Amino acid sequence: MDISYSEALVVGGGLAGLRAAIELKERGIDVVLISIVPPLRSHSSAAMGGVQAALASSFMGASDSPCLHYQDTINGGAGIADPAVVDYFCHSVIDSVYQLDSWGVPWTRVSAGERILSDGRMIVEKKDNHGKITARNFGGTAQWRTCYCSDSTGHNLMRAHLRRSAAVGLPIVDRMQALSLIMSDNTCEGVTALDLRTGKIKLFQSKATLLATGGYGRLFEYSTNGSICNGAGQALVLSISGGTLSNMEAVQFHPTALMPSSVLITEGCRGDGGYLYNNKMERFMLKYAPEAKELASRDVISRSMILEERLGNACQGDSGSHFWLDIRHLGREHISTHLREVAENAFCFAGVDPVHDLIPVYPAQHYTMGGIRTDKSLSTEKYGISGLFAAGEAACWDLHGFNRLGGNSLGETIVAGEFAAVTMSDYIQKKGSRLSVSAADDEFGKQSERLLRLEKQSGKPGLSYVSIISSVQSLMSRYAGVFRNEEGLNTARLELNRLLEQEPDAAIAGSFSATSPETTAALECRGMVKLALAVVGCALKRKESRGCHNRDDYPEMSEEFCKRTLCRWNSISESIEIDYEDISPQG
Amino acid sequence: MDKCKKVKIFRFVPGSDLKPRFKRYSVVPTGDTVLSLILQIRNEVDHSLKFDYVCRAGVCGSCAMLINGRPALACRARLDDYGSALTLAPLPGFLLLGDLSVDTGSYFIRMYQNQAMNLHRTKEEEIAYALSCRHDNETMLRIYELDRCIECGCCVSACATAQMNSSFVGAAELLNAWRIMVDPRDPRDDEFWYRLYATDNGVFGCTALLACDSSCPKNIPLASSLASFRIALLKLGVTT
Ligand SMILES: Cc1cc2nc3c(=O)[nH]c(=O)nc-3n(C[C@H](O)[C@H](O)[C@H](O)COP(=O)(O)OP(=O)(O)OC[C@H]3O[C@@H](n4cnc5c(N)ncnc54)[C@H](O)[C@@H]3O)c2cc1C
Ligand code: SF4
Ligand code: SF4
Ligand code: FES
């Protein structure tokens, strides 16, 4: 048996995981980080837009403050964001942005002098501010607050973190797929994982374990997320007794995903003056948001698109409905400099040249606000599990409530990652050194059996795991998308339950290898069906519309539901249990 | 036009297959890119086919492979740009993990380790430092341009020197060293970089044939960056 022992274990090499592991290491704690892919491949690298932080250094953000940032975030959250968490975040993220500057992040700077904005206004940046970190405009904010590095902020942050990780000597083990939590009663003592190089199961025992495994966007067929955003961490928690998830129905959709690939087309296109058309070449947003028009928030536009579609006004392409995004009038010069990535993606994935052609877009899943329930210090202790922590998109500590502001999640990964490390080191100091050998042995046995069973069943005719996962994805995009209703959600629940029943009979279709992509999918499959049931169950029970959760049959917000949703898996009835909790009395 | 693609794919999983071979597939593609084609093969024909991808949008660097002999990102490679026959093979110069999947991760972890130095500064000191410095945007843009490497490994695979001398660090590592050296915020003096890379396995091992430059999917100017780095180190050599 291959065992690694460390004081702390971090699962996930995205920004949240890296930030936490660096902090732990700097605090003198012996920590190991595992990731299913080499860290830079993590989804964090795909974030382009930037990090919201009220530095108040640029002309358009001159009167910004953490208070305004707080207000915008609370407003976005639609009653479900936790004031204490938001307050902590809005202050801390400023320090984080400066700290990252000293780690070498190439933040775009203020250049003193006159500048013409895209709407034609002229502004003058003060001499005093020359060379400070500047900010750009993002939807839903009172001031220009989003700090950025041209068009690849997430990538540049990741690289700064990786340089820092090496400097502090952080051991990173990539191609390591976490399979289950090692539980000794109600205490988490590490994970079992499959080494995707050797096909061997490894034990990672530790006093404190952080799940920083990202979101569950890939439960949806149409998603801007990377292929590994499968909700692995949420599924690990749902599978242990008492493991609690929260606000799973809170899923954000982005209106301008390129069709049919769902690659994200940045908000910048609309910010710079792009138009949206329906199949009659009407700018339909004039009807739904006469003031903001194409600059309305993500969910307003996503909803408007679906309503237009219902009126029969969506364009019909080879692979389904879409609308048109038009940036032709911005001109070649502007497109090839400011929207270079857009032009490349539109050509590569849809075969269109935005200088001459319209771009086909449609709403797709983009961000998951729900996740592993933690308290304000990123620990799951108050929800019955010790030794377990979560941060980043994997966690739900009520920063975003029922709608995330663009640019708040990159900041979250860094602030929460650092804070989780502080909580974890306190926990480690208090906990004795003893870890249960039998708990680890048991879990190793269970996972080995699981793998053995997959091997034995392989080649058997019948349903494949891959096909179960793709059924889940199409059900979720169809019934748990921008608009939801009782009938659709019930259909989805029924179908998902059927898939859950069929799953034990599924088999690997090809020949078995522990490191094959099919085995990876097989090991994730059941967890994904359960997570989908959690999303659908919570969406069914929340009979109101709030933030990104829209019910056709309950279009109004209801005071009764101004609470966070909690859900657990009942392993006897094999179903989701849901209850609610007030936002404030959490401690 | 015949829409059918004839694809030859390198198949070999070390440790479980006896010997490498090329397997042939005929597919009518439903998507536009090489990645969508191999996903289609994996989903419909051959579930065990190994290759890496995450973002499918050219930003994560996972999916580099040899497409008709040249290193490229599968997700960015448009089928229209290739004929009706395709040959796919893993990137050379990296440990083969299976079929089209190679271990670029270890190369880059080693690179970060080579270039690291612990600074022992507290967060307060770091914030104070950041607040005390101004940098004009041109400087930041220059660093940004050099920081765009997605660690795909194409440049290392394209480099004949790296293929012949496995101790040669490769274009990506030299680029990243230069990126840090030009950053005014990095406190290390130039001698640090001189000691590390003014060697036969560093800048002096590079024969400047520039195969790396044209293979970079992010169009990072490797030729001029490596040349600038070499000149900077040469100058140091003269003065020290
Ligand atoms: C296209 C796009 C653009 C975005 N742009 C912005 C933006 O401009 N601003 C902003 O604030 N936010 C943005 N976001 C959101 C933001 O990028 C993410 O919320 C954030 O990066 C999540 O970081 P993370 O560290 O929590 O998770 P991730 O970066 O997703 O990392 C998860 C890690 O967990 C690992 N992992 C997963 N499963 C397992 C397993 N079973 N075993 C071991 N390891 C595992 C993965 O390898 C990975 O390292 C964007 C999102 C998308 C989709
Ligand atoms: S210039 Fe030639 S030798 Fe030097 S790194 Fe590039 S390909 Fe290799
Ligand atoms: S320099 Fe270019 S080719 Fe080389 S690893 Fe980086 S992105 Fe890939
Ligand atoms: S899949 Fe990310 S670069 Fe190709």
A362 φ/ψ angles, rounded to the nearest 5 degrees: -160, 150
Pick the CATH number of A443-582 from 1.20.58.100, 3.40.50.261, 2.60.40.10, 3.90.1640.10: 1.20.58.100
Q: Answer yes or no: are the C-beta atoms of A373 and A586 closer than 8 Å.
A: no
Alpha carbons B191 and A71: distance in angstroms, whole number: 49
Query: A121 — alpha (psi -120 to 50), left (phi > 0) or beta?
Result: beta
Residues B77 and B157 in one domain: no
Question: Would you give per-residue pLDDT tens digits along chain A (587 residues)?
Answer: 799 999 999 999 999 999 999 999 999 999 999 999 999 999 999 998 899 999 999 999 999 999 999 999 999 899 999 999 999 999 999 999 999 999 999 999 999 999 888 778 899 999 999 999 999 888 778 899 999 998 899 999 999 999 999 999 999 999 999 999 999 999 999 999 999 999 999 999 999 999 999 999 999 999 999 999 999 999 999 999 999 999 999 999 999 999 989 999 988 888 778 999 999 999 999 999 999 899 888 889 999 999 999 999 999 988 789 999 999 998 998 888 778 888 989 998 998 999 999 999 999 999 999 999 999 999 999 999 999 999 999 999 999 999 998 899 999 999 999 999 999 999 999 987 789 999 999 999 999 999 999 999 998 888 999 999 999 999 999 999 999 999 999 999 999 999 999 999 999 987 899 999 999 999 999 999 999 999 999 999 999 999 999 999 999 999 999 999 999 999 999 999 999 999 875 44
**Residue B112 to residue A162, Cβ atoms within 8 A:** yes
Given the CA of residue B175, which atom of ligand 3 is nearest to it? 1
Ligand 3, atom 7: nearest CA belongs to which residue?
Answer: B149
For the record, the structure tokens of A281 come out as 């070449």
To the nearest whole angstrom, how far is the Cα of B188 from the nearest Cα of chain A? 13
Q: Which residues contact A514 (CB under 8 A, 6 or more apart)?
A: A194, A199, A200, A451, A455
Q: Which of B33, B54, B129 sits opposite A227 (nearest CB)?
A: B54
Question: CA-to-CA distance for B170 and B173, rounded, in angstroms?
Answer: 6
Q: Determine which helix (DSSP H) or strand (DSSP E) holds A267, and give its type and residue range.
A: none
> Could you tell me if B23 and B85 lie in one domain?
yes
Assembly ipTM = 0.96
Q: B141 alpha carbon to ligand 3 midpoint, in Å?
A: 18
pLDDT at A297: 83
Residue B240 is predicted with a pLDDT of 58
The pair of structure tokens assigned to A189 is 């003592």
- Where a domain ends, among B73, B103, B133? B103
User: What residues have CB less than 8 Å from A438, skipping those under 6 apart?
Assistant: none
Strand order in the sheet with A564-570: A395-396, A371-373, A245-246, A564-570, A575-581
Fold of A254-365: Flavocytochrome C3; Chain A, domain 1 (3.90.700)
When divided into structural domains, chain B yields a total of 2
* Pairing of β A371-373 and β A395-396: parallel
Q: Domain of B182: which CATH number? A: 1.10.1060.10
Instruction: Find the mean pLDDT for residues B54-61.
Output: 95
Structure tokens at A452: 């053995």
Question: What's the Cα-to-Cα distance from A160 to each of A116, A351, A414, B183, rounded to whole Å?
Answer: 32, 34, 12, 12
Q: Does B77 contact ligand 4 (Cβ within 6 A)?
A: no
Q: Which residues contact A367 (CB under 8 A, 6 or more apart)?
A: A215, A217, A251, A252, A254, A393, A404, A409
CB-based burial, A370-394: b 16+ in 10 Å, e otherwise = bbbbbbbbbbbbebebbbbbbbbbb
> Distance of CA A284 to CAs A267, A276, A305, A519, Å?
17, 7, 8, 46
Angle, nearest 10°, between helix axes B137-146 and B171-181? 160
Contact B105 A46 (CB under 8 A): no
Kindly give the distance from the C-alpha atom of residue A14 to the centroid of ligand 1, in angstroms, as a whole number. 6
Instruction: Report whether B73 contacts B63 (CB < 8 A).
Output: yes
Distances (CA, A) of A346 to A80, A350, B38, B104: 36, 5, 21, 28
Q: What is the pLDDT of residue B138?
A: 94
Beta-strand runs (E) in A278-319:
315-317
Ligand 2 touching residue B171 (CB < 6 A): yes
- From A95, A131, A163, residue closest to B134, measured CB to CB: A131
Say what the pLDDT of residue A406 is.
87
For the CA atoms of A140, A144, A145, A146, the dihedral, rounded to the nearest 10 degrees, stands at 80
Is there a contact between B185 and A104 (Cβ–Cβ < 8 Å)?
yes
Can you give the pLDDT at residue A462? Answer: 86
Residue environment code for B155-173, b if the CB has 16+ CB neighbours within 10 A, otherwise e: bbbbbebbeeeeebbbbbb
In this model, does residue B157 exceed pLDDT 50?
yes
**CA distances (Å), origin A466, targets A48, A238, B36, B63, B74:** 30, 21, 16, 20, 21
Rounded CA separation A207/A431 (Å): 7
**Residues, chain A:** 587
Tokens (6 digits) for A379: 């620990």
Of B77, B103, B129, the residue at which a domain comes to its end is B103
Residues 6+ apart with CB under 8 A from B181: B190, B193, B229, B232
Which pLDDT value is given to residue A587? 45
Test A130 with B144 for CB contact under 8 angstroms: no
Are B220 and B195 in the same domain? yes
Q: Tell me the average pLDDT across B211-238.
A: 93
Nearest-Cα distance to chain B for A99, in Å, is 5
pLDDT reported for residue A317:
87
- Selecting from A101, A106, A510 the residue whose C-beta is nearest the C-beta of B48 gives A510
Question: Are A40 and B126 within 8 A, CB to CB?
Answer: no
Angle CA A138–A140–A142, to nearest 5: 90
Q: What's the token pair of residue B43? A: 């989903």
Residue B66 Cβ contacting ligand 3 at under 6 Å: no
Q: What percent of chain B has pLDDT over 90?
A: 83
Ligand 1 atom nearest B57 alpha carbon:
1
Distance CA A205, CA A203 (A): 6
- Cβ–Cβ under 8 Å, residues B7 and B37: yes
Per-residue model confidence (pLDDT) at position A585? 56
Cβ neighbourhood burial of A169 (10 Å; 0-12, 13-18, 19+): exposed
State whether B128 and B229 are in the same domain: yes
Select the residue of B54, B57, B143 nearest A106 (Cβ to Cβ).
B143
Domain check: are B83 and B182 in the same one?
no
- How many angstroms does the Cα of residue B211 sit away from the middle of ligand 3? 12
Using only C-alpha atoms, chain A has a radius of gyration, in whole angstroms, of: 23
Whether residues A46 and B59 touch (CB distance < 8 A) is answered with: yes
**Quick count: other Cβ atoms within 10 Å of Cβ A223?**
27
Nearest to B70 by CA among B92, B40, B101, B44: B92
CATH number, position B10: 3.10.20.30
Beta-strand runs (E) in chain B: 5-11, 21-27, 64-67, 70-73, 85-89, 96-98, 101-102
Please check whether residues B218 and B117 belong to one and the same domain. Answer: yes
Active site residues of A: 254, 270
Please check whether residue A406 is in contact with residue A139, taking contact to mean a CB–CB distance below 8 angstroms: yes
Query: Atom of ligand 1 at shortest distance to CA of A148?
Result: 8
Flag if B76 and A348 touch (Cβ within 8 Å): yes
CA A486, CA A476: separation in Å to the nearest integer? Answer: 14
Per CB-CB distance under 8 Å, the chain B contacts of A112 are none
**B29 in the same domain as B123:** no
Taking the CA of residue B18 and the nearest CA in chain A, the distance in Å comes to: 14
* Per-residue confidence band for B10, with pLDDT thresholds at 50, 70 and 90: very high
Residues whose CB is less than 8 angstroms from the CB of residue B112 and which lie 6 or more positions away in sequence, other chains included: A162, A163, A165, A166
Q: Per-domain residue ranges for chain A?
A: 254-365, 443-582
DSSP helix/strand/coil, A417 = helix
Cα B43–B48–B51 angle (5° rounding)? 85
The atom of ligand 1 lying closest to the CA of A412 is 11
Q: Which domain holds residue B187?
A: 105-239
**For residue A228, how far is its CA from the centre of ligand 1 (angstroms)?**
9
pLDDT at B119: 73
Instruction: Count Cβ atoms below 10 Å from residue A399 Cβ, excluding itself.
Output: 24
CA distance B212 to B161: 10
Contact B47 A464 (CB under 8 A): yes
State the Cα–Cα distance between residues B104 and B95, nearest whole angstrom.
8
Task: Using alpha carbons, select from A63, A390, A118, A402 the residue that is nearest to residue A245.
Answer: A390
Chain B residue numbers with beta carbons less than 8 Å from the beta carbon of A130 are: 134, 136
CB B85 within 8 A of CB B6: yes
Q: Is the domain of B54 the same as that of B140?
A: no
- What token pair was written down for A407? 């640019």
Strands A172-173 and A31-34: parallel
Residue A20 to residue A508: CA distance in whole angstroms:
36
CB-CB contact of A125 with A110 (8 Å): yes
Q: Using a 6 Å cutoff on CB, does residue A367 contact ligand 1?
A: yes
Same domain, B22 and B97: yes
- Both B68 and B82 in one domain: the answer is yes
Q: Using the 3D structure, point to which of B59, B78, B103 is the last residue of a domain.
A: B103
